[in-house]
Structure 1
Amino acid sequence: MADTSPRTGSPASQDTDLIIIGGGPAGCAAARMAAGVGMRSVLVEPDTLCRNLYRIGALNNALGGHTSGPALADAITAELKSTELCRLELGRRVVELRAEDDHVAVTLETGTLLTAPYAVVATGVGPLQPRDVSWITAPSGLTLSPLWQANTDDAEGRTLLILGGDRPIGTFLRAHPTTDTRLLVAYPEADAYKIEEIRDDPRVTLLPVEHLILAPSEGGAVTADAVSQHGARHMVTADAAYLSIGNAPAVPPGDFVRGADGYCPPTDQHSRVIVAGDLRSARFQRIMTALGSGSEAALHAYYAARDLPISN
């Protein structure tokens, strides 16, 4: 459990009722819910609101009739910017969060110090790189883009090597239904259950592997020595390589308790730090669960600030 012992330095008056770190679906939902119960909030986001949503071409699990990430992102952003009780700090990065006995102190890269009784942290995740998984050997320092960042021009008439079988592959295929591309999906046994939704797409060739040795070539092309789960080896060539091997939690510096997997279990955190969205666990990385957990986090802060019981 996080250290909840008393500390000194509590400000005489605090800047807001709630500090929200992260401007994705979970953070935006927290700000909207906070305003709905009369709480002032400051939302800190180093980029634009719902940045990653704008890169998702197709949705199949969102309410409101939104079938693309940009449409949902526009709706969320418009609602949040009209929320008078929420102050936006866009283009600002958190460099430290400290949880004191009676407040939370958040320092921005500009040196600004924000204080509030509670903080909702919804900084999400970032893509794992080849160096982060044991089944891929790649040149030192190699960094690849996740598949969901690829557009039609990146894929049209090209063969793409996809590292990992994570679910964004299905999203990519739905977003580009008429794109003439070939996806070579190399995945370990642990990802076998994830590839069912793409198995029957004629543009996909599945490559179950035990190990993959990646060798980039000129012009972005790649070759790979693929070792199958039965020990057979063969060479794979592609015009480019993209990632679909999962994500790693993007935890800001400060008073957080991280599990063995790097995520921040909500029940292990300081009582004034409420974790929401994808930062909680790898199991719940869906847009709808992020929206729900952000709303719940704001309500948690509302009830806690008033010493009201929080039902499980």
Structure 2
Amino acid sequence: MAQSPTSRGQSARASLLTVDDDPAVSRAIARDLRRRYGEDYRIVRAESGDAALEALKELRLRGEEVAVILADHRMPRMTGIEFLEQAMDLFPYARRVLVTAYADTDAAIDAINLVDLDHYLLKPWDPPEEKLFPVIDEQLRAWSAAERHPVAETKLVGHRWSARSSAVREFLARNQVPYRWFSSESSDARALFTAADLDDPELPVVVTPAGDVLVAPSDADLAERVGLVTRPSADFYDLIVVGGGPAGLSAALYGASEGLRTVLVERIATGGQAGQSSRIENYLGFPDGVSGAQLTERARRQALKFGAELVTTRDAVGLDVNGSARSVRFADGSTLDAQTVILAAGVSYRRLDGPRLDAMAGRGLYYGSALTNVAACAGQDVYVVGGANSAGQAALALAREARSVTLLVRGPSLTQSMSAYLIEQVEAHPRVRVRTSTVVAEACGDGHLEGLVLRDVTTDATTTVPCGWVFVFIGAVPRTDWLGDVVVRDRYGFVPTGPDLLQDGAAPPGWPLDRPPYHLESSVPGVFAAGDVRAESAKRVASAVGEGAMAVMLAHRYLEQL
């Protein structure tokens, strides 16, 4: 049982949470904490991991902060380490302390890596003035000095059928910016318009926690106003990572941890396609699965911890070779120079081709974006286009709220592109059905999506179905057009590397070095490719993470030879 954070009638104070399954120990540590810190912090205690998680969720929903979490290691059903691993997703900036017996110090040391543990406290902690309070004092000082995201919410006023409103909503969600959505037709929206002296403004309208009002902002303006980093701190780096998917985040993390001055530049938000996955269940180390957003946020925090810079809303438009320097040009006219570059921009979903389909993008038809619309699809009949893992994960996520989800697959079955474990889940779900050998031929509707024309690829017969929601997860188009002729690409736009560049065992034409290209090196020395953008890549999260780390190792080898 957890002591409710609302039951004490206190507000606006950060909390110290303690969890121990022994009621006597739980009361004792809470008593000591309250005696020393009760005037400045709310003390919340729980007697199980589940109860503690419920208390943390309540605090998170109320927009409050948690400064320190103390968890006993030996608890039934959920160990202290398992609890802290889940707690860090709710309050990533809370300091984490594991309370353990002397015999469990090895587990505590392991937890330093697993849950980024800040300290472990040995039982017994008597006298608290010598063993407990100095530890908590140190953690509170570190928590107070740390830079934390503001809890206050951004307000977003838009319309369901406004494509730009949908894009801004997705931008905020993927960048982990807390926001609240208001329909432009609601009384709350009208009150905001009145307060901001706006009369029938262009949508969307964004009100930041500081009270700034942005009318139809660009991604760059929005990012800057809600506290995202949009400008690099320097002009020259050891390593530029282009793209913030699993490969890019891995490269940034390992580059920074190994001492390279590293900057990651991302067009929209970190995570890539994997960041939009509702649940990844075949990634090593997560037996119960992990959402793409959780995995991305952990990787992002980890990269920042080691000193990497993460810069958003930077759209790369060109790559230049200037002697030993590699220059990345951006859409705003700025450039960034480095000795090495890792291309990890990933792929985008292929667009549907047919009458009125482009016009419906953001107006009922969405490329990716399933997770931000799950609640809005409650009680609706939803269609998902695609037969790979991302489509299957989206279908299962939407089926939690939708009345029905129909998966449209061009091929004769799911076995060609979807993992076996996911096929079993899709086929077993009572609200998900699979329609094979089917493509979307046309969209129907006036101003927003109202129906789809479906075509059977084997018989060419068409049927029209009513539809207000369709999510598209088809194909893989690499984001490499901006490379032009500087870097060799294959006919599909992917970047060949290493052995794939060799011709009869020799280096490619124009290769300036005596050695052949390294395994992940492109046709330009010092420019590497990792993840989905690389030709012949495995198109899996685990392989992308591995390639990001390997690319950094090869970049080190390249730098040593300069």
Deviations 1:110-146, CA, capped at 9 Å, x for gaps: 4333222211011111111112xxxxx3336343313
- SS of 1:60's equivalent in the other structure is coil
**Does the alignment pair 1:33 with 2:254?**
yes
TM-score, length-normalised on structure 1?
A: 0.80
What are structure 2's unaligned runs of at least 5 residues? 1-234, 502-521
How far is the alpha carbon of 1:47 from its aligned partner?
3.0
Q: Does 1:250 align with 2:479?
A: yes
Deviation at residue 64 of structure 1 after TM alignment: 4.4
1:70 and 2:293 correspond: yes
Which residue, 456, 463, 470 being the options, matches 1:227? Answer: 456
Alpha-carbon distance in 1 for matches of 2:398, 2:439: 29
The superposition leaves residues 92-124 of structure 1 with CA deviations (integer Å, 9 ceiling, x where unpaired) of 222211134533112233433322221101111
Distance of aligned partners of 1:228 and 1:70 in 2 relative to their CA distance in 1, 3 Å threshold: closer
Contact 2:531–2:543 (CA<8 Å) still a contact in 1?
yes
Q: Which residue of 2 aligns with 1:301?
A: 555
Give secondary structure in 2 for the equivalent of 1:189.
coil
Deviation for aligned residue 1:275:
0.7
* C-alpha contact 1:208 1:229 (8 A) present in aligned 2: no
State the match for 1:6 in structure 2. none
Q: 2:374 aligns with which of 141, 152, 167?
A: 152
SS of the residue 2:379 aligns to:
coil
CA–CA distance in structure 2, aligned partners of residues 53 and 206 of structure 1 = 22
- Aligned pair 1:286/2:508, yes or no? no
Is structure 2 residue 443 aligned with structure 1 residue 215? yes
> Which letter does structure 2 place at the counterpart of 1:164?
G
The code of the aligned residue for 1:141 comes to: D
CA offsets 1:180-235 (integer angstroms, 9 cap, x no match):
43222222227642366033433233222365422322442213142351454433
In the alignment, structure 1 residue 122 sits paired with structure 2 residue 344: yes
Name the counterpart of 2:266.
Answer: 45
Match of 1:139 among 350, 353, 356: 356
Q: Using a 3 Å threshold, how does the CA distance of structure 1 residues 147 and 200 change in structure 2: closer, same or farther?
A: farther
Once the two structures are superposed, the pairs formed by residues 103-122 of structure 1 within 5 Å of their partners are 103-122=325-344
CA distance in 1, matches of 2:536, 2:411: 18
More strand by share: 1
Deviates more, 1:119-128 or 1:256-265: 256-265
Q: Which residue identity is paired with 1:204?
A: V
Change (3 A) 1:70 1:303: same
> Which residue identity is paired with 1:92?
R
Q: Is it true that 1:236 corresponds to 2:471 in the alignment? A: no
Q: Percent identity?
A: 23
Residue equivalent to 1:5: none
Per the alignment, residue 89 of structure 1 pairs with 311
Inter-CA distance 211–111: structure 2 relative to 1 (3 Å threshold) = closer
- Residue pair 2:395, 2:405 contacting (<8 A) in 1 also: no
Q: Number of residue pairs matched?
A: 289
- Looking at structure 1, the residues matched to 270 and 440 of structure 2 have their Cα atoms a distance apart, in angstroms, of 36
In 2 relative to 1, CA 53–231 (structure 1 residues): closer, same or farther, beyond 3 Å?
Answer: closer
Q: Tell me, in whole angstroms, the C-alpha distance in 1 between the residues paired with 2:295 and 2:550.
A: 20
- SS in structure 2 opposite 1:253? helix
Q: Aligned equivalents of 1:88 and 1:252: distance in 2?
A: 23
State TM-score, norm by structure 2. 0.47
Q: Which has the higher contact order (CA 8 A, sep 6+)?
A: 1
Please point out which of 157, 167, 183 is paired with 2:389. 167
Going from structure 1 to structure 2, the CA distance change for 1:116 and 1:231 (only over 3 Å counts) comes to closer
Q: Who is 1:263 aligned against?
A: 494
- Give the 3-state SS of the residue equivalent to 1:206 in structure 2: strand
Deviation, 1:288, is: 1.6
In structure 2, C-alpha distance between the alignment counterparts of 1:176 and 1:241, rounded to whole Å: 11
* Superposition deviation, residue 298 in structure 1: 0.9
Gapped runs of 5+ residues in structure 1? 1-13, 132-136
TM superposition shift of 1:292: 1.0
- For 1:236 and 1:153, locate their aligned partners in 2 and report how far apart those are by CA, in whole Å: 22
Equivalent pair of 1:94/1:252 in contact (CA under 8 Å): no
Q: Which one has a bigger Cα radius of gyration?
A: 2
Write out per-residue CA displacement over residues 227-271 of structure 1, whole angstroms, 9 at most, x where no aligned residue: 351454433332322212122111251322221222112234212
Aligned residue identity for 2:465: V
The DSSP-based 3-state class of the residue aligned with 2:236 is coil
Q: Distance in 1 between matches of 2:396 and 2:440?
A: 27
SS at 2:557 equivalent: helix
CA distance in 1, matches of 2:300, 2:248: 11
Shift of 1:303: 0.9
Instruction: Tell me the C-alpha RMSD between the 2 structures.
Output: 2.8
